Amino acid sequence: MHTPEWVKHAVFYQIFPDRFARGAHVEKPSNLEAWDTPPTLMGYKGGDLFGVIEHLDYLEHLGITAIYFTPIFQSAANHRYHTHDYYQVDPLLGGNRALYALLDAAHRRNIKIVLDGVFNHTSRGFFYFNDILENGPYSPWLDWFTIQGWPLSAYDGSKPAHYLAWAGNRALPRLNTDHHQVREYLMRVAEHWLRIGIDGWRLDVPFEITTPGFWQEFRWRVKSINPDAYIVGEIWDDARPWLQGDQFDGVMNYLFAAATIAFTAGERVVPDLVAGRSYTPQPALSAEEYADKMDWLLRLYPWEIQLTQFNLLDSHDTARLISIANGDAASVHLATLLLLSFPGAPAIYYGDEIGLPGAMDPDCRRTFPWDRPDTWNHETHAYHTRLIALRHTYLALRTGSFHRLYAADGVYVFARRQDEQVLVILVNSAQSFRSIAVELSSVAPAHGTALDLQIVYGEGTAVARHAHGSFGLPPRTGMIVLVGTALSCAYDPVKAAL
């Protein structure tokens, strides 16, 4: 089993292109919504890929090393999951030239680019389906879809659609991936953009494609072009059938997100903001329950897969965590600490690092307020920057082994170890101060006898007592502590760099 090495060291940033930034090189149509007004379900804001290029310095300073874009191909929807043409970047995003320029600019900064592959369904405007709408039973492309009768009704909901569509949404006709021409078409789309230079594919609702061998062939053809390309599937629950080494490198880890929100936000979770979603960030989890959930999750897949899971707290498909937690900043802070220290590749949803709120779609897809820095939560931005820097500095936080050390009374403690480098992560989700003793002999560096504890992130106390650590944690806070001898702990490269 092999997964891309770079993903294990990556920090991802998810961008919804229409809402991130307007660039200076794309002429805009007249009927765009004002940038600083609340988003609507169907309205366009006019963000584009040149806008992303203009803010790569910001992302680089934040510590981002990979970007996942929701769909960018030509579409008649602001989210672009209704694909018209898989070979053309949407003109409102700047067209193909914008993607070429973005790939060049990002790669010069060692930032990877992962695109969204929507291969289960397409749109009414997709040429092959549009031909059927125009020519009915005389179209040569009938086998590309599942036609169930005539006439087709693509827009009138009072009549039978007479074709299969994703989730019954007649705007999204399902492709017939059992047909060899459809299958080959999609494989060639994936290959084309890899040859252009993208670094991987995020796959939309891949569980909907049940054609035997489809994803196995997809992996073989993708890896034949770029063995280090990242393949990540949108699967919200137990993904073992897809994570055996023959299909995906990882999935969007909503199992991690749900449990982490339930632990850090607890009873603060607003029920209406998580209802109807395919993850369960409630009821609240105690420290013991959360620790058990994380142990179960880490046993679910091989370690090589764990290190390339796409870990997240929210996305374009969920309300934002700050809103889910009813505005409680500490919940987001604690969850972000866990995100940046847990095995797998952490992913920041654009704007989370400045405290951008958002309820359910379309509100979770607000525009980034570049021209209103007074609305940013600069404390939130600062701890994102610091935690990302720590992850880049300490190899143990990226590929180190995982060790559960303590879970009780609202406090969860675990260690990451890489050779002689050991970091202990402590999270106190309780409303009161906690003083705990934690046995460290199982993770302490082998050399030396006297342990030294150095707090590299957070506020509290940490004192070494033989093979134990005595820790004091203020309410609703967390710490990262470097464990070693006095010599190994004497220098903090992150503090030196900052």
Q: Residue 487 has what DSSP assignment? A: T
Q: Residue 237 has what DSSP assignment? A: S
In this structure, are residues 489 and 482 in contact, taking their beta carbons and an 8 Å threshold? yes
308 phi, psi to nearest 5 deg: -120, 20
- 3-state secondary structure (DSSP) of residue 253: strand
Query: How many angstroms separate the CA atoms of 492 and 482, rounded?
Result: 9
In this structure, are residues 492 and 421 in contact, taking their beta carbons and an 8 Å threshold? no
164-180 as b/e: b if 16+ CB within 10 A: bbbeeebbbbbbbbebe
- 3-state secondary structure (DSSP) of residue 297: helix
Which residue numbers are catalytic? 204, 234
Query: How many angstroms separate the CA atoms of 168 and 147, rounded?
Result: 14
Q: Which two tokens stand for residue 96?
A: 């193909």
Q: What angle do CA 91, 95, 101 make, to 5 degrees?
A: 145
Q: How many CB atoms lie within 10 A of CB 5?
A: 12
| Sign of the Cα pseudo-torsion (443, 423, 497, 112, in order) | positive
List 361's β-bridge partners, or say none. Answer: none
Query: How many angstroms separate the CA atoms of 256 and 339, rounded?
Result: 9
Element (H, E) at 328: none
- 3-state secondary structure (DSSP) of residue 163: strand
Query: How many angstroms separate the CA atoms of 109 and 51, rounded?
Result: 16
145-161 as b/e: b if 16+ CB within 10 A: bbbeeeebebeeeeeeb
Q: What angle do CA 336, 337, 338 make, to 5 degrees?
A: 90
Cα separations (Å) of 198 from 91, 218, 226, 247, 375?
A: 19, 16, 10, 19, 34
Q: Which two tokens stand for residue 196?
A: 């252009």
